[in-house]
Amino acid sequence: AQKITQTQPGMFVQEKEAVTLDCTYDTSDPSYGLFWYKQPSSGEMIFLIYQGSYDQQNATEGRYSLNFQKARKSANLVISASQLGDSAMYFCAMRGLLSGGYQKVTFGTGTKLQVIP
Amino acid sequence: DSGVTQTPKHLITATGQRVTLRCSPRSGDLSVYWYQQSLDQGLQFLIQYYNGEERAKGNILERFSAQQFPDLHSELNLSSLELGDSALYFCASSSGRNSYEQYFGPGTRLTVT
């Protein structure tokens, strides 16, 4: 079974500061992928960043970086230089492998980030 | 705009009824994923199709079924609807069988009364 845990239901950050959103995971799959998605109040889901379990380097996409610590089973999202438009719900997700070659995607419960001017 | 379209945007129906949600993936994308987002269950992966074939299955109820057609659009059929099926249903698409970058549609808001 696989599980994603996001322990911060809500967070505040000052505009232009960096913020870290926590995500821990549990899986027995040898190979898996970790994602972060952003969901603004308008409801759409926006892909932000991906980290493969065998990737040596931490993933970065513009102001987003994923702090991947495999031994601790954590995949925290770091947003640098926060902007007002970053205010949204953020979901951590994992894709793992089931028997028979099927894949399963599991989402965390989300963290609501509010950026303060 | 992700390029993924979903219809209808809103749907209100009664318990026991059957509805069909439609999704058109981005041009060229072969994989379609369906997700359910509800207040009590959060975001749940339902099912994935790749080029017309079922590729992965998540927490999809037996009352629900999906298919992907030769033109790559997909439909999610929900039958014998219950109040608890009220949720936002997302479709997402990606280019490959195992692609990690999925593009989400705007969702269909289903309300069962």
pLDDT, tens only, B70-107: 999 999 999 999 999 999 999 999 886 666 678 899 99
Is residue A61's pLDDT more than 90? yes
Q: Which of A29-38, B6-15, B30-39 is the most confident on average?
A: B6-15
pLDDT, tens only, A82-106: 999 999 999 999 987 655 555 678 8
> Residues 6 or more apart from A5 whose CB is under 8 A from it?
A23, A24, A25, A26, A108
Phi and psi at residue B84, in whole multiples of 5°? -70, -10
Which of B43, B48, B102 is facing A107, going by the closest CB pair?
A: B43
**Mean pLDDT calculated for residue range A60-67:** 96
Best B60, B94, B102 residue to mutate vs chain A (most A CBs within 10 Å)? B102
pLDDT band at A43 (very low <50, low <70, confident <90, very high): confident
Q: Per the CB < 8 Å rule, is A104 touching B44?
A: no
SS3 content of chain A, % helix, strand, coil (to 5): 5, 55, 40
Mean pLDDT of chain A: 91
Hey, which residues 15-34 in chain A have their CB within 8 Å of chain B?
Answer: 33
